Amino acid sequence: MPKLKLKSLYCETTEDSGGPDEAYLIVNGEQVWGTQSINDREGRPVDKEVDFSTSAEIKLYDEDTGIFDKDDHLGTVTVGSDMAGKGEQQGKFTDDGANYTLYYEVV
């Protein structure tokens, strides 16, 4: 069974103008990391491993507070088992004005 190794997340530009995002990652419907406060041009270690079968859907969100303000979906990266053994990869999350890079590997 392939394993997704989530290494780190780098934020070039947050979705929240004028303040940090409260970032978290969901893989195949399960939150695996976060919530972590992150600002422009900052990185955070993730250091999580997730088993999957043929593909893994990684979603990045910015947590919002308040009854009427849903969490912002910042993008989705889909990883396949065919990426096993190809070394470190990068996935981009650029929805809603954000710009993040996720560093990961499939082993």
Do residues 75 and 98 touch, judged by C-beta distance below 8 A?
yes
Tell me which DSSP letter residue 70 carries.
P
Confidence of residue 16 (pLDDT cuts 50, 70, 90): confident
How far apart, in whole angstroms, are the C-alpha atoms of residue 32 and residue 48? Answer: 7
Beta bridge partners of 38: 21
Report pLDDT for 18: 76
Residue the block writes with tokens 């990961």: 104
Q: Within 10 Å of residue 65's Cβ, how many Cβ atoms?
A: 7
Is the entire prediction scored with pTM above 0.85?
yes
Tell me if the domain spanning 3-106 has CATH number 3.40.50.280. Answer: no
- pLDDT tens sequence across 25-77: 999 999 999 999 999 999 999 999 999 999 999 999 999 876 667 899 999 99
The CA–CA distances, whole Å, from 97 to 12, 24, 37 equal 11, 17, 17
Distance of alpha carbon 71 from alpha carbon 81, whole angstroms: 29
